[in-house]
Amino acid sequence: MRHMNPHRRSRSAAAAVACAALVVVAACSGGGDDSADPTSGGGSSDSYTWWDPYPQHEAGSDWDQRVQACGTEAGVTINRTAYDTTALTNQALLSAQEGTSPDVILIDNPAVSTLAETGMLTTVDEFGLDTGDIDPNLLAAGELDGDAYGIPIGANTLALYYNADILAAAGVDPASITDWASLTTALEQVDAAGSRGITFAGIGTEEGSFQFLPWFWGAGADLSQLDSPEAIEALQLWVDWIDAGYAPQSVINNSQNTVWEEFLTGEFAFAENGTWQVNSAAEADFETGVIALPARDGGNAPAPTGGEFIVAPVQDDEARYDVTRQIVECMTTPEGFVETATTFAYYVPPTEEGQDQLLTELPELETWVDAVRTAQGRTSNGLGVAYPEISEQLWTAVQSAISGASTPQEALEAAQAAAPAID
């Protein structure tokens, strides 16, 4: 059995610091769902612990059965506990501080670097896992200082849903929308035909940053320089749409769920949203379609990757790692990636082979696969644990500009001044 990095910092001290610094809604002592036991770390030799952010998938659900099947394949029982996303990160940090980490955690990708910074996670190399087939742009979301600390079980991202009936009435061919100029022209035509244009989430939370990033990156901006000319141009685009009436004032408070509720009224031509709405779109009272979010000058804008990584916390009993590795490998075979993708309607597998298998079964997901292939991790490019602070400044700037409290340039200059420096 290989030994973990002897230079890894003290998990208790580092996790306590991370817990105090993490910008989250709940306190670090906060819990998840009622069934969660915050003291439940690694189990007995025939029982392994698994935490994930899916409380909506109860015992006996398709997802729960998927997890249990991997335990059966490894010859052990899996005790699964589900927390909401924020509570899971907090509980993971607390468990490391108390020495009660579970064997496996499935965690939202921006939190991987936060956990890794504390020293509580094994690296994939230390754990003997092969990531050679994982798309580098997706694996990057779980990297810190050159080391990968987990494997994405799949990815979701953003694109632009459209109401085909509204576009037809306005004389807009969705295939003609290839850049910002052609999208704005389409919004003008929709408005002239008496329908509403586009809705998106500009809320002052991570969801607001998540939805703004395709426009930010699509302009060529970088999160290390929030007030670049490209960043200002991206924020000006949103402001111009609101001022022209193409986007509603409600976007300032819109969550992604609210955006979708607005779109399902049938009043809007476009809505920015994710793969998780594929089934809902198919069941809408009108014909829907989806196109990639366009970059300023054409092509697909890099959208942020969503989705979870499977990670293995450090255990005092290293004899547990062999079985843990079998559980992780069961979840990350090409077939396993596709099964996860269809269970969550839809995650895109993080490998080319898995993506091709998915498209064989569901060719209508081609736009989503293309979007994932050009997506970008929020903590990538050296941002790591600095991302939450940068994101907060970004969504604050978006709020200030779309409310009219400041110009895009003023808002982003203030954001840059308050953001942590990136080497």
Three-state secondary structure readout of 245-265: CCCCHHHHCCCHHHHHHHHHC
User: What does the angle CA 158 – CA 160 – CA 161 come to, to the nearest 5 degrees?
Assistant: 115
Q: How confident is the model at residue 161 (pLDDT cuts 50, 70, 90)?
A: very high
Query: How does residue 3 score in pLDDT terms, banded at 50, 70 and 90?
Result: very low
Task: Report the alpha-carbon distance of residue 17 to residue 15 in Å, rounded.
Answer: 5
In sequence order, the β-bridge partners of residue 273 are 159
pLDDT score of 45: 75
The pLDDT of 332-338, averaged and rounded, is 89
- Across the range 371-389, mean pLDDT stands at 91
Question: Rounded to an integer, what is the distance from CA 297 to the centroid of its chain?
Answer: 25
Instruction: Report the C-alpha gap between 359 and 410 in whole angstroms.
Output: 45
Closest CA relative to residue 89, chosen from 71, 105, 67: 105
CB atoms within 10 A of CB 13: 12
Residue 120: is it exposed, middle or buried by C-beta count within 10 angstroms (0-12/13-18/19+)?
Answer: buried
Q: Centre a 10 Å sphere on the Cβ of residue 82 and count the other Cβ atoms it contains.
A: 23
Looking at residue 42, its pLDDT comes to: 54
Q: What is the pLDDT of residues 228-237, one digit of tens each?
A: 999 999 999 9
Distance CA(208)–CA(206), nearest Å, equals 5
Q: Tell the residue number behind the tokens 């004389």, with chain if given.
A: 171
Among 20-34, 52-66, 400-414, the range scoring the smallest mean pLDDT is 20-34
The residue among 71 and 30 whose pLDDT is bigger is: 71
> Stretch 19-34: mean pLDDT, rounded?
35
Q: Contact, 393 vs 376, CB < 8 A?
A: no
Structure tokens at 105: 């955690």
Distances in whole angstroms, Cα of residue 272 to Cα of each of 29, 58, 172: 35, 29, 18
Q: Residue 8: is its pLDDT beyond 50?
A: no
Short-list 274, 277, 147, CA closest to 213: 274
Question: Alpha-carbon distance 55 to 80, whole Å?
Answer: 10
**Domains of the chain, first to last:** 11-155+306-373 (3.40.190.10), 158-303+383-418 (3.40.190.10)
416: which 2 tokens? 């840059």
What does the alpha-carbon distance between residue 307 and residue 343 come to, in Å, rounded to a whole number?
13
**pLDDT tens column, 102-140:** 999 999 999 999 999 999 999 999 888 889 999 999 999
CA 410 to the chain's CA centroid: 28
**Terminal CA-CA length for the chain:** 37
pLDDT of residue 15: 43
Determine the pLDDT at residue 109.
Answer: 92
pLDDT in tens, 176-230: 999 999 999 999 999 999 999 999 999 999 999 999 999 999 999 999 999 999 9
Res 43: pLDDT: 56
Max CA pair span of the chain: 68
Distance CA 408, CA 180 (A): 17
The Cα 384–Cα 221 span in angstroms is 18
Distance (Å, whole) CA 294 – CA 321: 44
Tokens of residue 106, six digits: 């499935």
Q: What's the whole-model pTM score?
A: 0.85
Average pLDDT, the chain: 89
CA dist., res. 388 & res. 393, Å (int): 9
Alpha helices, DSSP H, located in 173-248: 180-192, 206-218, 229-244
Contact 75, 323 (CB under 8 A): yes
CB–CB of 236/124 below 8 Å?
no
